[in-house]
Amino acid sequence: MDNKKLGLVLLVIGILLALSLYGVKIKEDAIIEQIVVEQGSCYLEDGTCLHQDRDLTFYFVGWLLSAVLIALGIYLAAFEKSQKSIISTLENQKKIQAADEKFNILLKGLDVDEKKVIKAVKEQDGVTQQTLRLRTDLHKSKLSIVLDGLVKKGLVKKEPKGKTNQIFLKIAL
């Protein structure tokens, strides 16, 4: 059940509780008034006053519970959208954090040059080998050796593009 429906249910329950308590109090007041009219006094034979003998704790707790239910119902019904946006933001942050953690774990298993290459390819997936050479400041032959090692490890793939290659991440990071 979503928050809006739950809020409306709590709101209805709170209102019904308040109306029930009001009805019980009205009925009790009517009975006391009837006894006062019949006897001419609110005092019983044992000397207790009907007005003072009433236990108002029941009404106080009931009204308080009713107010809490109504307030909670209004809160849940009115603020559903903000909670959904907070939850989606938290989920997105969790996904980003998980991806970063996976990437950092991957980097721990690579040497310095492989780390440079993977980071550069992650920044621009589909980067050309020539651009990658400039970004990583590796010699042509060294970059070629590093890329061959990463291809064998299944981390990147090379696709020919004219006289050079485009480098793509093979795994989702």
Residue 100 token pair: 């970063």
| pTM beyond cutoff 0.85 | no
Give the tens place of pLDDT for each residue, 76-127.
Answer: 888 766 667 788 888 999 988 888 888 888 888 889 999 999 999 888 888 9
Q: Lay out the sheet containing 156-161: strands in order across.
A: 127-128, 164-169, 156-161
Helix pair 80-108, 57-78: axis angle to 10 deg: 60
Residue 40 φ then ψ, to 5°: 85, 0
Q: What is the pLDDT of residues 118-156, one digit of tens each?
A: 999 888 888 998 898 899 999 989 999 999 999 998 889
Asked if CATH classification 1.10.10.10 holds for the domain at 109-169, the reply, yes or no, is yes
Q: Buried b / exposed e across 61-70, counting CB within 10 Å, b at 16+?
A: ebbeebeebb
d(CA 142, CA 91): 40
Q: Where are the domains of the chain?
A: 3-78, 109-169
